[in-house]
Amino acid sequence: MTAKIIDGKMRAKEVREGLKNEVLALKSSGTIPKLSVILVGEDPASHIYVSNKEKACSEVGIASEIHRLPSNTREIDLMKLVAKLNDDKNVHGILVQLPLPDQISEENILNSILPNKDVDGLGAQNMGMLVKGEGDPFIPCTPQGIIDLIKTTGIEIKGKNAIVVGRSNIVGKPAAILLLGQHATVTICHSRTLNLKEIISKADILVAAIGKPRLITGDMIKEGAAVIDVGTTRTAKGWEGDVDFDSAKEKAGYLTPVPGGVGPMTIAMLLKNTIKAASKK
């Protein structure tokens, strides 16, 4: 068996095409969706991510602005900028690019963003609604993209064994909650999990999001499983995922590449959330 490659670039393009019409409808009613991104410091990867987000906004017709701050920015000054954007009626979505410098509390900053502008879905109120299954929260972008990609395979998630490797608030935990919402039986693994190979081998759906390049090899994967690789680690060979692609493709039924898998979908879901925020207003 050779896995079918899940083309995240192609799927993201399809999503963006659909969003263009939604933006046109909003503009015709007098609303121009706008995203404000805050970038603190000089992390090269963060600068690339923000640049890609800016280009994607432009493509679908969303207005965007980038606030670039030095790495020695104080938490109080960042809070003041967030408060200013919270009060700006023309700004519908606010995104603070992570990670932040050590002197700034990510939790404090994320929770200072108004829930109705928290298009990354990482604030306590949106996360709480997601966990409780209440209201209409903004869903974190990467997990939202993961579910979309799984659905493109035609696999029915309901009743499947889903294993999530990684327990971050950004990907692992919300991905597990979304899979539960689709009626999968979910197990979360992490760096201290015992018998990782044995557990992973039972996964019908595997989400790898632990940040360790090529941790998961083909011999660990169940025949025919859908494997979503969220890992992006820069190595001497370039960007590598958490899954050893070459060996995994001989066992998996479906497999995302790195790059070109989950990454483009994360940005597409950010655009979707921004349009949702503008529509709610």
Active-site residue numbers?
53, 97, 120
Q: Residue 217: CA atoms inside 13 Å, Cβ hemisphere, count? A: 2
- State how far the Cα of 249 lies from the Cα of 6, in Å rounded to an integer: 11
Token pair of 20, please?
A: 């263009």
Q: How many CB atoms within 10 Å of residue 260?
A: 16
Residue pair 223/1 in contact by the 8 Å Cβ criterion: yes
Ramachandran bin of 39, using left for φ above 0, alpha for ψ from -120 to 50, beta for the remaining angles: beta
Nearest to 253 by CA among 230, 221, 225: 225
Residue pair 68/90 in contact by the 8 Å Cβ criterion: no
Amino acid residing at 170: I
SS3 181: helix
- State how far the Cα of 96 lies from the Cα of 227, in Å rounded to an integer: 29
- State how far the Cα of 166 lies from the Cα of 170, in Å rounded to an integer: 10
Which residues on neighbouring strands pair with residue 95, listed in sequence order? 37
